[in-house]
Structure 1
Amino acid sequence: MTTRTLYLFCSAAPPVFDVAHVIEDAQARGWDVCLGLTPTAAHWLAGSLDGLAALTGHPVRWQYKLPGEDDVWPPADALLFAPATFNTVNAWALGLTDRFTVGVAAEAIGKGTPAVAVPCTNTGLAAHPQFDQSLAVLRAAGVEVLFGEGGFIPGPAGQDIPPHFPWPAALDAISRTATAQA
């Protein structure tokens, strides 16, 4: 089996704490995983970053490299952004690339890299009018968005931990999307 490279990007939402298991599941599906985090997600996982780097065989990234530095990751065959917070979804759709993960995800659209997003937000934020517009922009750009039926279904505002997060559906979607575009 040929190994393909998956950029797994995570925002700071409670499902990020499952990322080691998700990496293992992706690796079992034949993916070479490179883990990118938003700065807050990197802060949340600070005590696990060395272990996550050992698990993937690549440095965990949350910052842009300096000009002239070599890229430490192989090129992506696919990109999975999960969990993608309200802020991340809106920044990605608007092309606001001050964060490494959002910048690489925005560029992936232009490169034609297969991409899947699994937003993770609550019903209060999901009701904001920009959110629906951002989901529509990402879908129109070719990103498969798993939100609502068959994806992440938001819970009420104020709930810290979502009752479920569709990690298996996310990995199925990225495998399907990457295979379709191969």
Structure 2
Amino acid sequence: MQPTQVRDKVVYLTFDDGPDPIWTPKILALLAQHHAQATFFVLGRNAQAYPEIIEQQRLAGHMLANHSWSHPDLTQLNQASVIQELNSTQALLGATSSNCFRPPYGKHNQQTTASADQLGLRMVLWDVDSADWKQPGTEEIVARIRSQVRDGAVVLLHDGGGSRQQTIEALEILLPELAAQGYRFVAACS
């Protein structure tokens, strides 16, 4: 009798609102330490301000995706403005970025979807919300992810938009724990 082979389980870690000069490099180092890949949904204005971090993300093999230029509620904009928000970021990221986008706040409507379709972008949301942007405490972030994670889960985290110390502390706990449970961390949109 041969030992049972454990099939790898996959988790898609995604980070919104970066890059940030303080938090993104720390998250990149932690991901590298645990051989984890992720998708970074970047804001165009932040990518323009920190091109060296964008390059670090690319060189580390992470996927870069579009989170708009300035983080507006796209459902409140006219179609031309939605297209400008998405197209400006996509142009800045260039050909090596993915064709995925995530609308700010996860808010979208028919016009948002049509605008993305026109630009050849595919919307990617999430099914595990860490709520780390609320800074509820490391333990709460860990508990939220533990209770919702499953094979194929898309986990929403943030590397920009304020202090991400709790996010980093949660990842320090979760990355080895989930890896020990057989999970691999891969980039969405690859």
Q: TM-score range by the shorter chain?
A: 0.3 to 0.5
Specify which structure has the bigger relative contact order, considering alpha-carbon pairs within 8 angstroms and separated by 6 or more residues.
2
Task: Calculate the TM-score normalised by the size of structure 1.
Answer: 0.42
Task: Calculate the TM-score normalised by the size of structure 2.
Answer: 0.41
Bigger radius of gyration, 1 or 2? 2
